[in-house]
C-alpha cells in the first residue's frame, strides 16, 4: 500500500493551467466516485482551490495510481492536464504527508498563514467522505492535518496580519486609493466573498452591493454589511455604478465578458473601474484589461501585497514547522502500526491451516476423539501465538517492531489475507 499525491499549485503552474484543472464540488464528487472504482486506487480525495488542485490516493502502487488519476482527469477535462512536466509535482509516503500538513497550516499558501485554507481542506475531506472515497488511511491523514492546522493557529501567530486572499485583495484595491466613500461590488456569496465584504465594510464605503446567482444568499450577506443584493441579471447595472469590483465565485464559466465590460464603460462617462478577480476559473474575461478605463487584477496579483505583515508571520514558521514535525511523527507511528494487523491475521491463518491439515489426518478416529483433538489444538495455537501477537502489535510503530514484522513474514512465508478497502496490504 502506498500514499500518493499528484498536484499543481501557484508555485509550479500558471493561472491558466490551474484554472483548467480546477474542480467544483460536484465535479470532484463525480471524479472521485469513478476513480475509486478502478483497480489499484482504494481511496482518493481531491483538494481544489484557487491556488492548487491536488489528488491524494491510497493504492497498491504509486505509478499505477498516478496513471489512473491522469486518466480520470483526461476523461473529465478532455485533456492530459496532469501530464509529466514542471507544472506538476508527485509526492509519496512521508513527503506527501508533510506537504499536506504544510498546506493545512498555511505554509504553502500564496498568503502565508492563509486562514481560509483550513476550511478548504475540511471541505475537501467532507466531500470525499460523502462520496465514500476516503477510507481508514485518508480519514486518519486528514483528521491529523486538520489538527495540525488548528494547533498552528492556536499555538502560534502564523495567522497575524493579512491572512486571506480576500483581505489581500482589499489591500490591493487600496493601493489604487482609499475605499472610504467609494462604491464596491462583490460578486459571489461564498467564503471568500463573505470575507471580502467584511473587510470592505470596515473601510466605510459609500455602498456595498453583492451580486450572486442565488439572490437569497446575496441578500443574507448584504444585510449583515448594510449593503444591498442583486441577481446576476442585474450585473450590468451594478458594474456601471461601482468604483471597485471584487469577484470570487465558483462559477464554471466567465460571468463578466469583454463585451459586457465595453457596454458598461460606455455608460460610465470615462469613470475608471478597478476589478479584482479572485476566482479560479476566472469570473472576468482576461481580455477585459484592454478596455480603456479598466484596471484588472487576477488572483496571482495578490503576491504584490502580501509582503506587509509577512515578516511577523515568517518568524512563526519554525514554531509551525515543529507542530508539523510532531504531527508527522504521530501519523508515521499510526501508519507503521497498520502493518501489524495483516501480518497477525496471516500468521494466525497460517497456523490454522496447519492445524486443520493435521485434524484431517485424524478423520478415521471416533467423533469424540476428533472433537477433543480440535479443542486441544485450538487452545495450543492460541497459547503459542499469544505473546508473538502482543509483541507484533505493541512494537509495530518502532523500527525494531517493523523489523519483527518483516522477519515474521519471511520466516513463515506469509501471504497477505484478502483485503477490504479499510485493510491495507502490507508488502
**Sign (positive/negative) of CA torsion 405, 407, 410, 414?**
negative
d(CA 377, CA 193): 69
Residue from 9, 148, 137, 146 nearest 65 by CA: 137
Write down the H helix ranges in 22-164: 25-35, 62-77, 93-104, 116-131, 136-155
d(CA 190, CA 116): 11
Cβ partners under 8 Å of residue 377, min gap 6: 355, 358, 359
d(CA 193, CA 106): 19
d(CA 179, CA 297): 17
3-state secondary structure of 91: strand
Strand partners, 45: 56
The answer to whether residues 235 and 256 touch, using CB atoms and an 8 Å cutoff, is: yes
d(CA 424, CA 279): 38
Longest alpha-carbon distance in the chain: 106
The answer to whether residues 13 and 22 touch, using CB atoms and an 8 Å cutoff, is: no
HSE-CB for 274 with a 13 A CA cutoff = 17
d(CA 425, CA 60): 8
Write down the H helix ranges in 156-294: 165-174, 191-201, 215-225, 235-241, 258-266
| Residue 127 annotated to the active site | no
Cell digits for 423? Answer: 485493510
Which of 50, 105, 127, 328 is the catalytic position? Answer: 50
CA 123 to chain centre: 8
Bond from prior residue into 281 cis (ω within 30 degrees of 0): yes
| Buried residues in 13-27 as b, exposed as e (16+ CB within 10 A) | bebebbbbbbbeeee
Return the H-helix or E-strand segment holding 348.
helix 340-360
- The residue count of the chain comes to 427
The catalytic residue positions are 50
Amino acid at each position: 500500500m502506498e500514499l500518493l499525491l499528484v498536484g499543481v499549485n501557484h508555485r509550479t503552474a500558471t493561472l491558466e493551467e490551474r484554472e483548467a484543472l480546477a474542480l467544483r464540488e460536484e465535479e470532484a464528487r463525480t471524479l472521485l466516485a469513478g476513480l475509486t472504482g478502478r483497480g489499484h486506487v482504494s481511496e482518493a480525495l481531491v483538494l481544489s482551490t484557487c491556488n492548487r488542485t491536488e489528488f491524494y490516493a491510497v493504492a497498491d502502487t504509486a505509478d499505477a495510481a498516478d496513471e489512473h488519476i491522469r486518466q480520470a482527469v483526461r476523461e473529465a477535462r478532455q485533456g492530459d492536464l496532469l501530464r509529466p512536466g514542471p507544472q506538476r509535482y508527485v509526492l509519496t509516503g512521508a513527503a506527501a504527508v508533510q506537504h499536506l500538513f504544510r498546506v493545512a497550516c498555511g505554509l504553502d499558501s500564496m498568503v502565508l498563514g492563509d486562514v481560509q485554507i483550513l476550511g478548504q481542506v475540511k471541505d475537501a475531506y467532507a466531500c470525499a467522505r460523502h462520496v465514500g472515497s476516503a477510507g481508514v488511511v485518508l480519514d486518519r491523514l486528514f483528521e491529523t492535518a486538520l489538527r495540525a492546522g488548528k494547533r498552528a493557529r492556536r499555538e502560534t501567530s502564523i495567522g497575524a496580519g493579512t491572512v486571506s486572499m480576500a483581505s489581500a485583495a482589499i489591500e490591493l484595491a487600496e493601493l489604487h486609493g482609499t475605499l472610504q466613500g467609494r462604491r464596491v461590488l462583490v460578486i459571489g456569496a461564498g467564503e471568500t466573498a463573505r470575507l471580502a465584504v467584511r473587510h470592505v465594510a470596515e473601510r466605510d464605503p459609500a455602498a456595498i452591493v453583492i451580486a450572486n446567482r442565488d439572490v437569497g444568499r446575496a441578500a443574507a450577506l448584504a444585510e449583515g454589511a448594510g449593503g444591498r443584493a442583486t441577481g446576476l441579471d442585474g450585473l450590468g447595472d451594478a458594474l456601471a455604478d461601482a468604483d471597485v469590483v471584487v469577484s470570487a465565485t465558483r462559477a464554471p464559466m466567465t460571468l463578466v465578458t469583454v463585451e459586457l465590460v465595453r457596454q458598461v464603460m460606455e455608460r460610465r462617462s470615462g469613470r475608471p473601474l478597478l476589478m479584482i478577480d479572485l476566482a479560479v476559473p476566472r469570473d472576468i474575461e482576461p481580455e477585459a484589461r484592454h478596455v480603456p478605463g479598466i484596471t484588472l487584477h487576477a488572483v496571482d496579483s495578490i503576491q504584490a501585497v502580501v509582503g506587509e505583515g509577512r515578516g511577523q508571520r515568517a518568524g512563526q514558521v519554525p514554531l509551525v514547522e515543529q507542530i508539523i514535525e510532531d504531527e508527522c511523527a504521530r501519523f508515521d507511528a499510526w501508519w507503521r502500526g497498520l502493518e501489524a494487523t495483516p501480518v497477525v491475521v496471516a500468521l494466525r491463518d497460517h497456523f490454522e491451516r496447519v492445524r486443520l491439515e493435521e485434524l484431517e489426518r485424524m478423520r478415521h478416529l471416533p467423533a469424540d476423539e476428533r472433537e477433543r483433538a480440535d479443542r486441544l489444538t485450538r487452545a495450543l495455537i492460541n497459547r503459542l501465538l499469544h505473546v508473538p501477537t502482543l509483541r507484533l502489535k505493541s512494537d509495530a510503530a518502532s523500527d525494531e517492531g517493523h523489523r519483527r514484522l518483516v522477519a515474521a513474514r519471511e520466516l513463515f512465508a506469509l501471504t497477505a489475507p484478502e483485503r477490504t478497502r479499510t485493510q491495507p496490504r502490507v508488502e
